[in-house]
Amino acid sequence: MKKLTDLLKKISYREVINLVDRSISSISYDSRLVSSDTLFVAMQGTKVDAHSFIPDVIKQGCKTIVCEKVPDSYDDVTFIKVDSSRQALAEISHWWFDDPTRFMKMIGVTGTNGKTTTTYLIAQILERMGLKVGIIGTTGIFFLNRFYNATHTTPESFELCRIFKEMAANGVQCVVMEVSSHSLEQKRVFGIDFDLAVFTNLTHDHLDYHKNMENYASAKKILFDNLKPDAIAILQGDFEWAKFMVSHCQSRNISFVGRNNSNKYVIHNEKIMRNGISFQLSTNIFNLEINTSLLGKFNIDNSSLSVASCIELGYNPDDIVVAMKEVSPAEGRMSSIQLRTGAVGIVDYAHTPDALEKALLTCREILQSTRYSNSKLICVFGCGGDRDRSKRPKMGDIASQIADIVIITDDNPRTEDPANIRKEILDGIAEDNKSKVVEIAERAEAIRYAVNISRNEDIVLVAGKGHEKYQIIGQTRFHFDDLEQLKKM
- Is residue 254 one of the residues assigned to a domain? yes
> Are 220 and 293 within one domain?
yes
Q: Which of 122-131, 156-165, 186-195, 464-473 has the lowest mean pLDDT?
A: 464-473
- Residue 27 maps to which CATH number? 3.40.1390.10
Q: Domain residues for 68?
A: 2-96
- Residue 118 maps to which CATH number? 3.40.1190.10
- Is residue 329 one of the residues assigned to a domain? no
- What would the pLDDT profile of 306-346 be if each residue is shown by its tens digit? 999 999 999 999 999 999 999 988 888 888 888 999 999 99
Percent pLDDT > 90 in the chain is: 75
> Are 84 and 12 within one domain?
yes
Prediction pTM value: 0.82
Does pLDDT of 370 surpass 70?
Answer: no
> Are 185 and 257 within one domain?
yes
> Are 113 and 77 within one domain?
no
- Is residue 111 one of the residues assigned to a domain? yes
- Is residue 6 one of the residues assigned to a domain? yes
* Confidence (pLDDT) at 443: 97
Other Cβ atoms less than 10 A from the Cβ of 393: the count is: 18
- Boundary-marking domain end, from 96, 123, 150: 96
> Are 88 and 196 within one domain?
no
- Is residue 258 one of the residues assigned to a domain? yes
* Confidence (pLDDT) at 372: 57
> Are 62 and 171 within one domain?
no
- Is residue 415 one of the residues assigned to a domain? yes
Does pLDDT of 442 surpass 60?
Answer: yes
- Is residue 474 one of the residues assigned to a domain? yes
- What would the pLDDT profile of 191-219 be if each residue is shown by its tens digit? 999 999 999 998 765 556 556 878 888 88
- Boundary-marking domain end, from 70, 96, 122: 96
- Higher pLDDT residue, 71 or 231? 231
> Are 229 and 120 within one domain?
yes
What does pLDDT average to over the chain? 92
> Are 112 and 45 within one domain?
no
- Residue 426 maps to which CATH number? 3.90.190.20
> Are 160 and 269 within one domain?
yes
> Are 341 and 315 within one domain?
no
> Are 233 and 307 within one domain?
yes
- Boundary-marking domain end, from 300, 324, 348: 324
> Are 133 and 267 within one domain?
yes
Q: How many folded domains does the chain comprise?
A: 3
pLDDT band at 373 (very low <50, low <70, confident <90, very high): low
- Is residue 330 one of the residues assigned to a domain? no
